[in-house]
Amino acid sequence: MKKKSISYAKWGYIFLIPFFVVYIIFSLYPLIQTFYNSFHEYIIDRGSISVWGNQSAASTEEQITFIGLANYKEIFSTDGTLINSFFNTIIIWLVGFIPQIAVSLLLATWFTDLRLKIKAQGFFKTVIYLPNVIMASAIAFMFYTLFNQGGAMYELVCNITGREDTLLKSVWGTRGIIGFINFLLWYGNTTILLMAAIMGVDTSLYESAQIDGANPTQTFWKITIPLIKPLLSYVLVTSMIGGLQMYDVPALLTNDEGNPIVNGVRTARTLVMEIQTRKDSNVGLASAICVIIFIVSAILGFGINFLGSDKRDGKKKKKKAKRG
C-alpha cells in the first residue's frame, strides 16, 4: 500500500489568512473608499443645536453628491495650495534624508570594518537606535518646548545672537528643526539596515581589492555601494513614502493660532487634516488629495525600483535564454 503524502503547502495558506483579513479590512477597503469619496462632494457639517437654554449638543449632517472629477479640478485650479504643500514636503524630507543617509552610511561602514576594531559596538548600536522607539509626537513636543519662547534653546540662541526671534517663527528654522527630528528618528534604523547589507557582501572581494592596492575610499565606491544598491533603493523609497505622509511633527511645531509660517511648512498630509477638521469638512476634497499622494508615491516607488534594478542581470538572462 502507498503511504499518503502529507501536503504542508495548505498550512502556509491557512496561516496567511489572518494577514489577508487584516489587510483587506484596514488597508484595501479604506483605499477603495478613498477613491470612491474623491469623486463625490462629501460634506460633513459639524454644527450644534440648542437644548434646554444655554446647553448645546453636537449635530452632524452629511451630504454626498457625485461630482466626477470636480474635486481634482478644484485642487489644481485654486491658489496652488496643494502644489505648495508638495514642495514643502519634498524640501523638509530632503533636509532630514540627506544627513540621514550620509551619517548612516558612515556609521555602518565604521561598525562593519574589522580593521577599526571598535569596542562596545552593542552599546553604540543601542544608543543610535533608541530614538526610533520614541513617538515622533513626543520628540516634536520636546523640541517645541525647547525652541519656543521661554525655552532653554530659545534663551541660548537669544544670548548668542542678541535677537529675540525664535526659530519656530522662521520658515527655514522650522524646516530645519523638522528635518533634524526626522533624521534623529530614522538614522538609527537606517544604520542597522545598511550594516546588515554590508555584512552580506563577500569578504573575499575586499581582500582582493586590498591586495590590488585599492584604498578604503575606492573600496567603498567600487564594491560596497554597487553591492548594497538594492537596499539603498529600498531605504530611499520607504523614506520618501514616509516623507509624503509627514503630519505629526509639522503640525505640533506650528500649532500656534495665527502662526505666520504655517504656509511655509504645511505638508500635503497636514493640508488633508486641515480640510477634514473644519466645521464643514469636505471629505471628498481631502480624499482626492490622498489619491494624488498615493499615485505620486506609487510612481516614485516604481521609478526608483526600476532605476535601482540591476539591468546587467536582466540582459544576461535574456542572452542565456536566446542561447538556450
**Is residue 260 very low, low, confident or very high in pLDDT (cuts 50, 70, 90)?**
low
pLDDT for the residue 46: 64
Domains recognised in the chain with CATH numbers: 82-308 (1.10.3720.10)
Cell numbers representing residue 105 in the block: 552610511
Q: Stretch 113-118: mean pLDDT, rounded? A: 76
Question: pLDDT higher for 3 or 306?
Answer: 306
The burial class, CB within 10 Å (0-12 / 13-18 / 19+), for 212 is exposed
User: Residue 273 has what pLDDT?
Assistant: 82
Residue 295 vs residue 82, higher pLDDT: 295
Q: How many CA atoms lie within 13 A of 300 on its CB side?
A: 18
Grid coordinates belonging to 2:
502507498
Q: Is the pLDDT of residue 321 over 60?
A: no
pLDDT in the model for residue 106: 92
3-state secondary structure of 49: strand
Tell me the C-alpha to C-alpha distance, in Å, between residue 97 and each of 44, 91, 152, 228: 37, 10, 27, 18
Sheet containing 280-282: give its strands across: 56-66, 40-50, 280-282
Q: How many CA atoms does the CB half-sphere of 151 hold within 13 Å?
A: 16
Looking at residue 132, its amino acid is N
Between 163 and 76, the more confident residue is 76
pLDDT at residue 52, rounded to an integer: 47
pLDDT number for residue 53: 47
Which pLDDT score, from 0 to 100, does residue 22 have?
94
In this structure, what C-alpha cell is assigned to residue 148? 519656543
Q: Which residue has the higher pLDDT, 264 or 50?
A: 264
Evaluate if pTM is beyond 0.95: no
- 127-143 residue pLDDT tens: 888 888 888 888 888 88
d(CA 65, CA 169): 41
pLDDT tops 80 at residue 62: no
Taking phi over 0 as left and psi of -120 to 50 as alpha, with beta for the rest, 14 belongs to alpha
